[in-house]
A and B are shown apart, each in its own frame.
Chain A
Amino acid sequence: MSETSKFTEDILTAAKEKAQNIVTDAETETQRALEEAKTHLSREADDIIRNARTEAESVKRRQMSEVRHRLKLQEQQEKSKILSEVLERTKKRIIEIADDEGKYFPYLVGFVESGIRELGIENVLIHFNANDLKRIDKGKLEREVTKKLGKPVKIEWAKEPLETSGGVIISSNDGKTRIVNTLDQRFEALESKLLIEAGKSLFGD
């Protein structure tokens, strides 16, 4: 081989080696970049799936929470229906008792007695509804009340009837002080207590 041929061959060999290195570097670099991209993508995919699992849990929780809420409402409605019915029946029963003079009279005595005790005076004015004004034996009532109080009391009877289903209003003669012991008022004043007691009786163990 001549000197020239050897020289040109060296030039070409060197060029080929360099060319090979350029391509190899590009391939290595590409491979590394691809691996990095894969790792990054894999993390991205993991994030997507992790978010999906979180969302899935929240979907399940939401469904359950909706059902719980609906059932709680349903339970409250059922309880409320029963409580309303019991309160209505209580009202009716009280009206029935008020219609039966024999049963009603002792309670009326109690209303008057407690009213007089609360007022703390000896001369009182008693107000009835129209029905009680007509039918109640006032003398008997006065005697019973006096007996229960254990001291004489002077009772006057108001002529103007009350608009109420029963019970009494006990007032001082000048009307300035009074105790309202009508059935309607008692029911209204006791309603929250009645609801609590009914709840305990109906739904307590």
Chain B
Amino acid sequence: MSGIETVKIIVEAEKEAAKILEDAQTKASEIRKRLDLLIQDQREETLRSAEKETAVILQRAEEEGKLESASYEKESGERIRQLVSKASTKKNAAVDKLVSIVLEG
């Protein structure tokens, strides 16, 4: 093999090596680019899932709130009815007392 042929072979090998490295850089760039997409997908999925859970939590709170309010309203409504009924039986005595305050001081 002549000297020129040897140099040619080495130059070809260097070119091939450079191509290998260039391909590796391209692949690395693609991997990094894919990362952005992956993170974006992950973010969308996580947020979608959180929003879904949020909606469930709020819906449940709304329903529980309604139930608790309704129960409280029922109890309080009954208490007010009893208060009114009890007071109604005391009206005459109250009138007597007030009349006596006005007329007797």
Contacts and interface: CB of A to CB of B under 8 A. Distances in A.
B98 A60 contact: no
B13 A19 contact: no
A71 B76 contact: yes
Contacts of B29: 26
| Chain A interface, DSSP helix/strand/loop, else mixed | helix
A23 B35 CA distance: 13
Interface string B53-97: 110011011101110110011001100100110011011011101
Interface residues of B, number: 65
Nearest to B79: A75
B85 to A, nearest CB: 11
| Chain B interface, DSSP helix/strand/loop, else mixed | helix
Contacts of B94: 86, 197-198, 201-202
B28 A63 contact: no
Contacts of B20: 12, 15-16, 19
A93 B101 CA distance: 13
Nearest to B11: A8
Interface string A55-88: 1110110111011100100110011001001110
Nearest to B8: A4
Contacts of B62: 59, 63
B83 A194 contact: no
A35 to B, nearest CB: 11
B101 A37 contact: no
Contacts of A64: 65, 68-69, 72
Contacts of B54: 48-49, 51-52
Given A8-B9, A68-B72, A198 B98 contact: yes
Contacts of A89: 91, 95
Contacts of B23: 19
Contacts of B102: 90, 94, 183, 186-187, 190, 194
Contacts of A67: 69, 72-73, 76
- 10 tightest A-B CB contacts, nearest first: A19-B24, A56-B61, A15-B17, A26-B28, A8-B13, A63-B65, A52-B54, A60-B65, A201-B94, A45-B50
